[in-house]
Structure formats: C-alpha cells, structure tokens
Structure 1
C-alpha cells in the first residue's frame, strides 16, 4: 500500500520538478525533504501543509490517498456548476487540512423541537423553530445584521460567496470534516438570502448528499424533490416566522404599503412573503396574486427604503470568504502549525506583502 512518502514522490514526479525545485516551491529545505522521502524522518504536519498548498492537493490525500467526491464532481461538471464545485473543493480541502492541524469545523447542528415525521412542511417547520431557537439563544436576530455571519457564528458553517455569473444559485458541500454553503454573487439580495436559508435547511436536515447543487432553487423540477421541498419550506419558515408575520400585520395592516414594509423588514421578496402568508392562511389567493406581482424594487420604493435596497444589492454582488475558515487558517499560522502561504492564498494576496503587513501591524501594537 502506498505511503505518504510514496504519494509525495509521485506528486514530485508528476510536477516534473527535481527535488531542489520541488522543495523550493513548497518552502521546504531540500535535505529535510530528501530525508522524509527516504523514510529516515517522518513528514511533519507543517511539511505536508506546505506541500498540499503548493501543489493543490489536500493533506488528507497525502496522508490517506483518498480523493474527495468534490474533486471528482468538479472534473465531470461544466458551466457555472463546475466553477462552484471547484471553489467548494478548494474550501472543503482547506477545512479538512485545518482539522488535521487541530482546527476542526465548529459545526453545531440543532435538536429538533418535534420528531422528524409527517409531511415535509411539518419537518421544515420543526427544523426552523429549532434553528430560530438557537439564534435566540445566541442573542441574534435573523432580521438584523449579516445573515451569513449569523449562520457562521450560530451553526459553525463556512459560508462563501463567489463570482459565477447567471445560472447558478448555490450549493451545500458536506464531508466528515467540512460543512460549507457556497452562494453565487447576484444583484438580487432577497434571492441570495433565500438561497442561503435553503442551503442551511439541507445541512440541518442532514440530507445524505456529499454535494448538493442548486442551479435554480425555484425550478419546477426541484418541486418534485422532497429534500428540495423541505429546504424551501425551511427557508420560508426560518426567514418569515409566523409570530413575526402576525405582529407585522397587526402593526402595519395588510395594505400594499404595510406588505411592502414587512417584505423589506424581513429582507425577502414580495412573492416569497405572499406565498408564506397564503400558506399560513393570513391572506386569500386573490390577495396573494396581487401581492406577489410586486417587485422587490417596487416594495422598497413603496416602503421608502430604496437606498437600503440599493446598498443590499451592492453587497450581494461582492465575493465573500468563509469567515471561520479564514479565522482558523490565520490561527494555525500564529500557532506555528502552518506557514503564512495558505492564509495569503485564501486572501488572494502576495505572501511577502502579507508578511510585511502583519509585521508592521505587530510592530505598531496592532493585531494581524
């Protein structure tokens, strides 16, 4: 059976580099690398982290030879989904490597408030109530601040936003070591927010899929998939809790202005809000048809929150790094368990420039 040394040796052969050049690219000393390859001394975790980073493989692969399903999927899928899978493969590989270094995913699932039985809507409502209870326990509100940051802080999920173009909403990637939600940058902030809640629903429901691609979360075909139905129902219940809606209706009434104000307050699309209120029998089908024709821009203007909508639309078009992943990557470097290169690569900056910046900040008494 191939050993770690065998896999590193094969990687060096595939790269076409000699020992000195291979060691230089990985920021290792050639004599030490030669000793590890010969079996005279074992590879340290820092050595393996350096090699994995420099040659785009995971530490898990170097240690075990196992290849992530994400790696295979990224090679066999095309278009925006392929780009999304490649980004997910990179992030989950980094998370796996961090687990090897002593920084595991801080994943915190919820205990459901009711048994997972009955219809998919009942399951979704149960999960949503449990998730909302967990956010409240952390003194957080889904209608305040950054939802991606809240989900990272409360549930320990890594959330990323990447530039993918049209035709893709998001994905959930689940491995033994990683829990990732990846979203497409978009000018539609309500759709991105709903997609984020939808993907969280997949994770909390424990859907048995290594990779869950959602090119279009509202596609007709998705409505026939029970897991998709549950994820959408979860997103509706999580983002638009029944008690919050009833308080909002009592405060503003069911006028177009009141409905628009509630949609803006919850940061959801008018159509999603209309369907949720119809499902809860707060409005009839005729009123639902009227409200769902309202666009998000029209709702923002009617509620006097046009500037806020524009700001949210700009933010939803920006890339976002997974917060816990970035934090743990920096922590591993500060603890001497990794070099600075993985953190620099994650940030997309030159490693020497980042090192100089950190040294300057430390010299000035600041934090890196």
Structure 2
C-alpha cells in the first residue's frame, strides 16, 4: 500500500519542482525532506500542513490516502445542493485535518433511552435527553445565539452559508466530523428549526455521510421516518411540552399570550400553534386562528419588534463554525499548522492577518 512518503513523492513529481525547490516552498531543509521520503524521518504535523497547502490536498489524504466522500459529491452535485455540499466539504475537510494535527472535535452524544414507539415518539425522547444536556451545561434555549449554544453543549460544528433560498441545511456525520451547515435566511425561526432538525440527525446517527434537507417542511420529505423523528425532535426541543403546559394552564391564554410565547421561544407562530394542538392544549379552531398570526404581528403584540429585527439580521449573516475557528487558531499557535486555514475561515487575507497579529491591531473580515 502507498505510504504518506509515496504520496508526497508523487506530489513533488506532479508539481514540476525539483526536490530542493519543493523543500524550500514548504520551509523544510532538503536533507530532512530526503530523510522523510526515505522513511528515516517522520513528516511533522507542520510539514504535512504545509505540503497540503502547497499542493491543494488535505492532510487526511496525505496520511490515509483516502478521499472523503464529500469531495466526490462536491464535484458532481449542482445547484443549491452543490453549494451546500461544497461548503460542507470545506469545513469537514478542515476539521479532519485539524483532528489529524491533534485537535479532535469535542462531540458529545446525549445519553438517550429510546423505548421504541413511533418515530415521532422517538424524536420526543431524544429531545428530552438533549434538553437535559442543555440544562446540565447551565445554558438555556432562550439564548439568542442557538448555533453557539449547540457548539458549546454538544460539540458540533455549526456554520451558516449562502446556499440559496431553496435549501435549508444539511448535516455531515463521520467518525471525525459532526457538522451542521445552515442557509442564510430572512426567516430566523425557520433557520432555528432547521438547526434543531439537523442536530436530531446527528444525535440519532441517521447517516454516515451527508444528509441533505432542501426543505424541512416538505410534506413528501416528511414521509421518511427519520425526517418525522427529526421534525418531532425539533418541535419538542424548541417547544418543550412542560413549558407550553405551564403557559396555557395560567388561564386566559389569548392571542397576546400566544404571541409572547412564540417570541420567547423564537419559533414561528404556525409551528407553535401546531405544537399546542398536538399536545391538546388548544382546539383546532384556536389553532387555525393562531396559525394566521404572522411573525411580525406576534412581535408587535408582544412588544418585541426590535428583537425580531435583530434576529432577522443575524440569520442573514454567514457564520464560520466557532469550534473550528478556535481549534484552527490553536493549531497555528502551537506551530502545527500554517496561518492560511485560520485566515480562510475568518475571511481575511493571510498577510493582512499576519500583520495584524504581529502589530496587535484589529482584524476585519472580508477580502
């Protein structure tokens, strides 16, 4: 079987550079490169990072010779799904590389007992376990930044990217990568529901690979049992039965109370109305009346228009995975990686970032 040294040797030949020039390009003494190619010296993590950067390959491929499944999908899939897969490939490849350099993802699966039942019931059970993890971590779902909370509590990488209006998000699952990619949106409640939906796929281990969700509300897609479970999870996770019961049991649960609850939970009025109906906390007529309330009207009734405006603006902004940004910088700081991966994540030119870090001035994203 070809070794990492064999793959580097092939890359040198393909580059058209002499071995000496190749060594110079990666900041390595020619004699050390010769020893590594001959097997008497191991390539360091920084050597591999620099070779991967120069030759536009991944560290994972250099070590294992295996190309991630997403790489093929990214080359063959078009449209919004193609854009989503390309974003997922970028982040998952970097996560694999950072893992190979000694910075594994801190993924934590909630301890959940699934006692059979319908797929929807399983989603409810998983949601209770996930909610317990949030509570144990001292966090609350009332926090505005749900991606940051998911990263902190569960250790998943969460990104937001411009994927197009006809695509909600995806989840990537492998032994090394747990990644959620969401589409930017002008409907923050939908983006929030999608995040919970994708988290369910990761927790339930629905796919080893990539799970695409063009429309989490699609009726045809929802016939898939795993989609039913993911939707049930999202509803129960974002709208816990105990909290809804307390709100309704206070008495006099009218339209203003309903609007306030939708704003507190940061969910769409229609999703909340359907959840209340399924829990038998309201009747069908009240459900239809509440479903007619728009997000804007709910915010007005609850006096939370400014908050909705902030959430809407935040949902439209691309976001790099926070944990991946942290780990990529840590690898650079420890001398295990170059600055380029970190610069690419925060969308800053390498030289501008290097100058800023050395001078102590502020760094502004955007190339």
After TM superposition, the score normalised by the length of structure 2 is: 0.93
Q: Is the 8 A contact 1:96 1:177 kept in 2?
A: yes
Structure 1's consecutive aligned runs of 4 or more residues displaced over 6 angstroms after TM superposition are: none
Q: Which residue of 1 aligns with 2:78?
A: 78
Q: 1:24 to 1:318 in 2, by over 3 A?
A: farther
Q: 1:14 to 1:232 in 2, by over 3 A?
A: farther
**Contact 2:95–2:176, Cα closer than 8 Å, also in 1:** yes
- Once residues 352 and 173 of structure 2 are traced to their aligned partners in structure 1, the CA distance between those partners, rounded to angstroms, is 34
Aligned to 2:276: 277
Task: Give the 3 Å change call, closer, same or farther, for CA 316–197 of structure 1 in structure 2.
Answer: same
Q: Which moved more, 1:345-354 or 1:77-86?
A: 345-354
Q: 1:35 deviation in Å? A: 4.4
Whole-Å Cα distance in 2 between the matches of residues 44 and 283 of structure 1?
63
* Conserved? CA contact 2:186–2:313, under 8 Å: yes
Q: 1:22 to 1:155 in 2, by over 3 A?
A: same
**Are positions 1:203 and 2:202 aligned together?**
yes
- Bigger mean CA offset, 45-54 vs 237-246: 45-54
Q: Does 1:301 align with 2:319?
A: no
C-alpha displacement of 1:24: 5.6
Q: Does the residue aligned with 1:171 lie in a helix, a strand or coil? A: strand
Give 3-state SS (helix, strand or coil) of 2:167's partner. Answer: coil
Find the aligned partners of 1:279 and 1:125 in 2 and give their Cα distance: 12
1:173 Cα deviation from its structure 2 partner: 0.3
Residue 267 of structure 1 is matched in structure 2 by 266
**1:333 alignment counterpart:** 332
Deviation at 1:323, TM superposition (A): 0.9
Alpha-carbon distance change, 16 to 293 in structure 1, aligned in 2, over 3 angstroms: farther
User: Residue 365 of structure 2 corresponds to which residue in structure 1?
Assistant: none
Residues 253 and 79 of structure 1: CA distance in aligned 2, closer, same or farther (over 3 Å): farther
Structure 1 residues 308 and 10 mapped into 2: Cα distance closer, same or farther (>3 Å)?
A: same
Cα–Cα, structure 1 residues 186 and 28, in superposed 2: closer, same or farther, change >3 Å?
Answer: farther
CA apart distance, 1:40 = 5.1
Task: Kindly state the Cα deviation for residue 72 of structure 1 after the two structures are TM-superposed.
Answer: 1.4
Q: Which residue of 2 aligns with 1:365?
A: none
- Which aligned pairs between 1:195-234 and structure 2 lie closer than 5 A? 195-234=194-233
Secondary structure class of the residue paired with 1:220:
coil
C-alpha RMSD of matched pairs (Å): 1.9
When residues 32 and 349 of structure 1 are mapped into structure 2, their CA distance, relative to the original with a 3 A threshold, is farther
Residues 335-364 of structure 1 show CA distances to partners (whole Å, capped at 9, x for unaligned) of: 2222222211222212222222222339xx
Query: In structure 2, the residue corresponding to 1:102 is in which secondary structure?
Result: coil
Aligned-partner SS, 1:172: strand
**Conservation of the 8 A alpha-carbon contact between 1:274 and 1:288:** yes
Tell me how far apart the structure 2 counterparts of residues 101 and 256 of structure 1 sit (CA, whole Å): 54
1:121 offset after TM fit, Å?
1.5
Give the stretch that moved more between structures: 151-160 or 67-76: 67-76
Q: 1:348 to 1:31 in 2, by over 3 A?
A: farther
Which is worse superposed, 281-290 or 227-236? 281-290
In the alignment of these two chains, the number of paired residues is 361
Change (3 A) 1:274 1:339: same
What CA distance in whole angstroms lies between the structure 2 residues aligned with 1:279 and 1:259? Answer: 15
Q: Distance in 2 between matches of 1:250 and 1:127?
A: 25
- 1:145 is paired with a residue whose SS is coil
Gaps of 5+ in 2: 362-367
For the residue of structure 2 that corresponds to 1:143, the secondary structure is: coil
Q: Distance in 1 between matches of 2:121 and 2:229?
A: 9
Query: Which residue is 2:98 aligned to?
Result: 98
Contact 1:172 1:199 in 2 (8 A): yes
> For 2:180, what is the secondary structure of its paired residue?
strand
CA contact (8 A) 2:69 2:209 kept: yes
Contact 1:252–1:258 under 8 Å retained in 2: no
Counterpart CA distance in 2 for 1:162 and 1:63 is 29
Aligned mates of 1:24, 1:232 — CA distance in 2: 53
TM-score by length of structure 1 reads: 0.92
Q: 1:309 to 1:11 in 2, by over 3 A?
A: same
- Give the match for residue 69 of structure 2: 69
Partner SS state of residue 212, structure 1: strand
More displaced 10-residue stretch of structure 1: 10-19 or 334-343 = 10-19
Change in CA separation of 1:145 and 1:25 when aligned onto 2, cut-off 3 Å: farther
